[in-house]
Amino acid sequence: MHDVDTLYKAIRAWAENQGIAVSEKSLRSDLAGHFNGTSMTMNPSFSVEERAYYLVHALGSIALWSKDKEQVQQIYDELRDAKETDSAATDKLQRAIEKYRAFEISSSELAVWLLKSLGANDAIHSYTNFMRADLESMTQFHRTGKAPKWQDFFSAWNRQVETGQRHPAPFHSRPIPPFAPQLIERQEIKQQQ
């Protein structure tokens, strides 16, 4: 098993080398962290493994936001609009969720590349399992307006993985292109407690 403390420090150092300040601060219990493109705040009440995975995923997101801020903002605007205007799972909402999912998967593809480049190949399997579960949890939230309780959801998810009922698809590694961090609307990393 990889040393998650060392991994977390390496991810933080990489972020700071890109010009993204990373700090820790006590936040609401349902908030693992938040970021605005040029800075990130992580909640120390979450495990170091959770913080490492959310941090590396957020860095993938920041890279995508920084390369095409308008396009990414449009994904989130469409999702917000579809949820506000269509309470049922309509085609408009479904299309918006699929764009959101594609963005989140792209963020994880960049995150997997970063994990590899930091020499943390042994973390990729657990990262993939964690972030695939997180993506399904957040998809449920966007479809229904209510996020499942994370610990219960993740425990059930892991039981399904262990029994072969669920097979989390690997994320394909894609290099993070050079980028200049851009200030964006604050994004929260939520985890329903």
Nearest Cα residue to 179 out of 11, 38, 36: 38
pLDDT for the residue numbered 86: 55
Whole-Å CA distances, 141 to 21, 95, 188: 29, 15, 14
Query: Domain coordinates of the chain in residue numbers?
Result: 4-190
Distance, CA of 64 to CA of 37 (rounded, Å):
10
Q: What is the pTM of this model?
A: 0.94
pLDDT for the residue numbered 92: 86
pLDDT for the residue numbered 87: 57
Is a pLDDT exceeding 60 seen at residue 148?
yes
pLDDT for the residue numbered 78: 92
Write the pLDDT tens digit of every residue in 16-44: 999 999 999 999 999 999 999 999 999 99
Distance, CA of 20 to CA of 66 (rounded, Å):
12
Is a pLDDT exceeding 50 seen at residue 51?
yes
Mean pLDDT of 1-10: 87
Distance, CA of 84 to CA of 162 (rounded, Å):
37
Token pair listed for 102: 């594609």
Is a pLDDT exceeding 90 seen at residue 82?
no
pLDDT for the residue numbered 1: 39
Distance, CA of 189 to CA of 42 (rounded, Å):
9
Provide the pLDDT confidence category of residue 98 given band limits of 50, 70 and 90: very high
Is a pLDDT exceeding 90 seen at residue 2?
no
Please state, rounded to an integer, the average pLDDT across all residues of the chain. Answer: 94
pLDDT for the residue numbered 70: 93
Mean pLDDT of 157-163: 98
Is a pLDDT exceeding 70 seen at residue 88?
no
Select the more confidently predicted residue: 1 or 123: 123
Mean pLDDT of 89-103: 89
Cα end-to-end span (Å), the chain: 26
| Pair 33, 42: CB distance under 8 Å | yes
